[in-house]
Amino acid sequence: MSEEVATKETEAVPENWEPRIVGFLCYWCSYTGADSAGTARMKYPANVDIIKVMCSGRIDPELITTALSNGADGVLVAGCHIGDCHYMTGNHKTMARMPLIRQVLLDLGIEPERFRYEWISAAEGEKFTRVVREMTEQVRKLGPLNWPEILHESGVGHGRDLKPWGE
């Protein structure tokens, strides 16, 4: 078992590795926004795989951690702009949950670029395209999400720099 951990820790970046990003999109705005990007034949990298939910309010943080702990190198969450929610205030919950899960991810040493949430309307195919391009590149720069690395080598595991003794 200890060997097992050891092997995991020395995971190298595999040949022609591609970032794996899971995107959770609300159906009425962001998913449709991605559609309009398609209708307009905009081009973006193939790294973000979309999962459809009716409202971004359905996006349980558990889905995000499940993705990240099962091989995703990044997670994108997108919903209607605040005020435009098809369900009035469904995305208000997203708006409140996402900064919190982000904080927890930071405390666990996950690079901030690996988790992103955006408000993308049905008309904003261009914004969707931009976000996918940006995020894919950022995650590509970071390389694969190597959990054991993060959990074990980040010294103070939660990303905060602590004062040394005597200061």
Partner 1 sequence: MSINESTFGAGNGESGMEKPRIGVFVCHCGGNISDVVDVKRVAEEMSVLPGVVHSTTHMFMCSDPGQTSIEEAIKEHNLNRVIVAACSPTLHELTFRRAVARAGLNPYLFEHVNIREHVSWVIEDKEAATRKAARLISAAVSRVPYLEALEKRHIPIHGAALVIGGGVAGLTCALDLARRGIEVHLTESTDVLGGRMLELYTVFPTNEKASDLIDPLIKEVQSHPNIHVYLNTQLRDSTGAIGDFHTTIVTKKPDGGEEEREIHSGVIAIAVGVDVYQPREGEYYFGKSPAVVGLLDLQAMMNPDGPTGGKLEINGKPVKNVAFIHCVGSRQWPDIHEPQADGKINDYCSRYCCTGIVHAAAEIREKYPDVNVYDFHEDIRTYGRGHEDWYTKASEVGVLFFRFDPHKPAVVEPDPKGESALVVKCKDRLTNGLEVEVPADMVVLGNGLQARDMTTLIDLYRCSRGSDRFLLEAHPKLRPVELASFGLFLAGSVQGPMDITEATAGAAAAASKAAALVKRGFIELDPFIAKVNEELCTGCQTCLNVCPFDAISRDEEKGIAVISEALCTGCGTCAAACPSNAIQQFGFNDAEVMSEVLALLGVVKKEEEEVPVG
Partner 2 sequence: MTENNIDTPKDKLKVGMYWAASCGGCDISLLEIGVHILELIQIADVAFWPCAADFKYDHVASYPDEYIDVMFYNGGIRNSEQEQIARLLRQKSKSLIAYGECAVDGGIPALANLYSKKAIYDASYHSNPSIDNPEGTEPLPISECEYGELEIPEFYERVLRLKDIVPVDYEIPGCPPNAERVWEAIQAVTGGVVPLKNKAVKVASFDKSVCDECPREKNLQKIKEFKRPHEVRFEPDICLLEQGIICMGPATRSGCGAQCIKGGMPCRGCYGPSGTVEDQGTAMISAIGSLLDATTEERAKELIAQIVDPVGLFYRFSMSSSHMKGHK
Partner 3 sequence: MTTKHVKTKEGYKRISIDPITRLEGHGKIDIFLDSEGNVADCYFQVPELRGFEKFCEGRPVEEMPRITPRICGVCPEAHHHASAKAADAVYGLDLPLTAKLLRELQYNIFYVTDHTTHFYALGAPDFVMGPQSDPATRNIIGVIGKVGVEIGGEVIKCRQWGHEAASIFGGKPVTPINCIPGGMSKPINKEERERLDEICMFMVEFGKFTIKLLHDVVLANPDYVDLIVNGPYYHETYSMGLVDDQNKVNFYEGKVRVVDPEGNEFCKYEPNDYMNHIAERVEEWSYLKFPYLKNVGWKGFVDGKDSGVYRATPQSRLNVAEGMNSPLAQEAYEEYFETLTGDRSGKKPVHHTLAIHWARVVELMNAAERSLELVRHPDITDPVNYRMVCDTVPTEGVGIVEAPRGTLTHHYVTDEKGIIQKANLIVGTTNNNAPICMSIKKAAENLIHKGTEVTEGVLNMIEMAFRAYDPCFGCATHSLPGQMPLVVRIRDVDGTVLSEGSRD
Residues that bind partner 2 (CB under 8 A): 1-2, 5, 8-9, 60-62, 64-66, 68-71, 82, 89, 92-93, 95-101, 103-105, 107-108, 147-148, 150-158, 164-166
Q: Using DSSP, state whether 124 is helix, strand or coil.
A: coil
Q: Which one of partner 2, partner 1, partner 3, none interacts with residue 17, CB within 5 to 8 A by kind?
A: none
Residue of 48, 51, 63, 39 whose CA lies nearest to 130: 48
Nearer to partner 3, 49 or 153 (CB): 153
Is 156 near partner 3 (CB under 8 A)?
Answer: yes
Residue of 159, 39, 29, 28 whose CA lies nearest to 103: 159
Q: Which one of partner 2, partner 1, partner 3, none interacts with residue 133, CB within 5 to 8 A by kind?
A: none
Q: What CA–CA distance (Å, rounded) separates 122 from 14?
A: 37
Q: Using DSSP, state whether 94 is helix, strand or coil.
A: helix
